[in-house]
Amino acid sequence: MSSTNRDFLTLLDFSPEELHGILDRARQLKALRKEALRHESLPGRVIGLLFEKSSTRTRVAFEAGMVQLGGHAIFLSSRDLQIGRGEPIEDTARVLSRMVDAVVVRTYSHEGLERFARHSSVPVINALSDTHHPCQLLADVVTYIEHRGSIEGRTVAWIGDGNNVCNSFIHAARCFGFFLRIASPPGHAPHPQVLAEGGERVSVTTAPRDASDGADLIVTDVWASMGQEEEQQARAETFSNYRVDQRLLDTCSPDALVMHCLPAHRGEEISAEVLDGLQSVVWDEVENRLHTQKALLEFLLRGEDSDA
Ligand code: CP
Ligand code: NVA
């Protein structure tokens, strides 16, 4: 049984060529599924899903995807594991990696995730941390490509919080060669270190219209992420001018797409009219979580056998 010992904690862990390879493979897997052809490339392989935060899309995509590939996924809520009673991260990583072929982790602290990965002898996948959500970007980029062709040289507008998904968009701008304009309220722009990692194609403004003007894709996310629930009310005031509504969408390119990682709060960061409108591709984005995560699992678990 072949496997890599690579981790996927941020998009920068993979080369642009590797990322493009995963997206190409995701499109093949999607086509196979549309034709109802079975493709069990990971028989007998087992992954653990260690989740500290809620999830619908990410969890179901990994669980369903692993079954479709002929393997199995075990959902491990941190509330039920000994880690929830104080067993160290390092020991949990050592234990799980003696028993499963990869561990998918959704957690708060990115530093804790890195520590987990250092002590795991099997691949570790970031299923969302406070600072990155790389799996989301695999789906978002492939969704853009399916609808509009290459994303290289295109302009993406991010409206709202400089959060985990925004940070992964910054990395994606570098890996996939698109321009990213981020509009965030003062004090909510992405961390300067992550911005620096994005390179020259990434810019920041406080004015949503400066970001959206002529953009090919407009994206937003909740104003308060998981773990920031107590800030929800204050953020609703701070972010009230950072809503993706029809007026803002009208400043984008006429054929601009709209994305949101979901779950969405209609009437807050995005109007219902836009989220449910003709330019929105959020349901394709959702479906592509499945295909891209399957391609990611194949890449990490099959290693050099991946082409077979
Ligand atoms: N977009 C996303 O990651 O959704 P879940 O929180 O439902 O996994
Ligand atoms: N920024 C959001 C994304 C959810 C998928 C959060 O972290 O809660």
Rounded to whole angstroms, the Cα distance separating 193 from 202 reads 12
- Residue 1 counted as domain residue: no
Contact of 169 with 219, CB cutoff 8 Å: yes
Task: Select from 281, 299, 259 the least CA-distant residue to 65.
Answer: 299
Rounded Cα–Cα distance for residues 198 and 196 (Å)? 5
21 lies in some domain: yes
Cα 307 to the center of its chain, rounded Å: 24
Per-residue model confidence as pLDDT tens digits over 50-93: 999 999 999 999 999 999 999 999 999 999 999 999 999 999 99
Same domain for 83 and 148?
Answer: no
Residues 127, 142, single domain; the answer is: no
| Same domain? 38 vs 174 | no
What does the pLDDT read at residue 37?
87
Question: Are 107 and 229 in the same domain?
Answer: no
CB of 164 shorter than 6 A to ligand 2: yes
Query: Is 276 tagged catalytic?
Result: no
Atom 7 in ligand 2: residue holding the nearest Cα: 225
Ligand 2 pocket test target in 110, 113, 163 with most atoms within 8 Å of CB: 163
Residues 6+ apart with CB under 8 A from 76: 48, 49, 50, 51, 96
Q: What is the pLDDT of residue 13?
A: 98
Query: Does residue 226 have its Cβ closer than 6 Å to ligand 2?
Result: yes
Q: Evaluate: CB of 261 within 6 angstroms of ligand 2.
A: yes
Is 136 in the active site?
A: yes
Tell me, yes or no, whether 128 and 148 share the same domain: no
The predicted pLDDT at position 303 comes to 82
In a domain, 6, yes or no: no
pLDDT for residue 3: 73
**91 and 147 belong to one structural domain:** no
Judge whether 2 lies within some domain. Answer: no
Does residue 246 have an active-site annotation?
no
Please give the distance, rounded to the nearest whole angstrom, from the Cα atom of residue 267 to the centre of ligand 1: 19
Residue 140 shares a structural domain with residue 281: yes
Residue 48 included in any domain: yes
| Residue range 149-195, pLDDT digits in tens | 999 999 999 999 999 999 999 999 999 999 999 999 999 999 999 99
- Cα angle 63, 127, 103 (rounded to 5 degrees) comes to 65
Whether residue 45 is contained in a domain is answered as yes
Is 133 an annotated catalytic residue? yes
Strand 124-126, strand 155-159: pairing: unpaired
Which atom of ligand 2 is the closest one to the Cα of 261?
5
Biggest CA pair distance of the chain: 54
The answer to whether 115 is a known catalytic residue is no
CATH number at residue 143: 3.40.50.1370
Name every protein residue with a CB atom under 6 angstroms from any ligand 1 atom.
55-59, 128, 136, 261-262
Helix ranges, 11-133 (H)? 16-34, 57-68, 89-97, 110-118
Q: How many helices (H) and strands (E) does the chain have?
A: 12, 9
Question: Is 163 domain-assigned?
Answer: yes
| Residue positions counted in the chain | 308
pTM confidence score? 0.97
Within a domain: residue 102?
A: yes
Q: Is 289 a catalytic residue?
A: yes
Residues 297, 227 share a domain:
no
CA of 57 to the centre of ligand 1 (A): 5
Instruction: Indicate if 95 and 228 belong to the same structural domain.
Output: no
Measure Cα distances from 12 to 165, 172, 274 in Å: 14, 8, 31
* Annotated active-site residue in 57, 133, 171, 181: 133
* Domain of residue 275, residue span: 136-285
* Tokens standing for residue 254: 């006429």
Q: Tokens 């990692």 identify what position? A: 197
The pLDDT averaged over each successive group of 10 residues in the chain (308 residues) is 85 98 98 93 98 98 98 95 94 98 98 98 98 99 98 98 98 98 98 97 98 98 97 98 98 98 98 98 98 98 69
Same-domain status, 110 and 143: no
Q: Are 108 and 153 within one domain?
A: no
Considering the domain architecture, whether residues 164 and 223 belong to the same structural domain is answered as yes
Overall domain count for the chain: 2
